[in-house]
């Protein structure tokens, strides 16, 4: 099964298919984090072709996206369902793949600012809580 990412900047890619209820709960919380009139480019992808996708494989698929959000095994098993944000702007991987996790309730604030290029990856990665999850500024 060939893996290709759809066009778009704000991809929320499911890479773990062990718990459909956890995915549904996570996606519902992400969608609830947006205001009705929020400009967004979020594209949820629920395709078993991406089951078990690794960061190395992800970067091979990236075509112009500078970041991707993953609903991985941790997302599905952690009670808070934190989503993994991956900085894919360094396509040759020389600096590794910077990552941080986002609480679903804080997803809109991160995704919209990435989508509109108002803030960059470090603005959020530098403001995670002690457990490496971003839950919002001024908490």
Tens-place pLDDT, residues 52-99:
999 989 988 887 788 999 999 999 999 999 999 999 887 555 557 899
Tens-place pLDDT, residues 109-138:
999 999 998 999 999 999 999 999 999 987
C-alpha distances out from residue 52 to 39, 44, 117, 125, Å: 30, 16, 29, 24
The pLDDT value given to residue 30 = 97
Helix-strand-coil percent breakdown of the chain, rounded to 5? 30, 20, 50
Q: Is the pTM of this model over 0.85?
A: yes
The pLDDT value given to residue 78 = 97
Percent of the chain predicted with pLDDT > 70: 94
Alpha carbon distance 36, 50 (integer Å): 30
Residue whose pair of structure tokens reads 């099964």 in the numeric block: 1
Tens-place pLDDT, residues 23-60:
999 999 999 999 988 888 899 999 999 999 999 899 88
Q: Where are the alpha helices (DSSP H) in the chain?
A: 20-32, 55-61, 73-77, 107-115, 121-125
The pLDDT value given to residue 77 = 97
Task: Sheet containing 10-14: give its strands across.
Answer: 42-45, 10-14, 67-71, 83-87, 99-102, 133-134
Q: Is the pLDDT of residue 1 over 80?
A: no
């Amino acid at each position: 099964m060939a893996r290709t990412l759809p066009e778009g900047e704000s991809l929320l890619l499911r890479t773990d298919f062990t718990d459909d209820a956890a995915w549904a709960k996570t996606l519902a919380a992400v969608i609830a984090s947006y205001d009705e009139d929020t400009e967004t480019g979020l594209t949820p992808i629920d395709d078993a072709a991406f089951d078990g996708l690794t960061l190395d494989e992800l970067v091979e698929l990236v075509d112009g996206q500078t970041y991707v959000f993953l609903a991985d095994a941790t997302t599905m098993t952690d009670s808070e369902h934190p989503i993994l944000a991956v900085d894919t702007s360094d396509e040759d991987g020389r600096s590794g793949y910077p990552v941080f996790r986002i609480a679903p309730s804080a997803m809109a604030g991160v995704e919209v600012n990435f989508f509109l290029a108002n803030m960059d990856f470090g603005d959020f990665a530098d403001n995670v809580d002690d457990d490496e999850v971003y839950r919002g500024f001024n908490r």
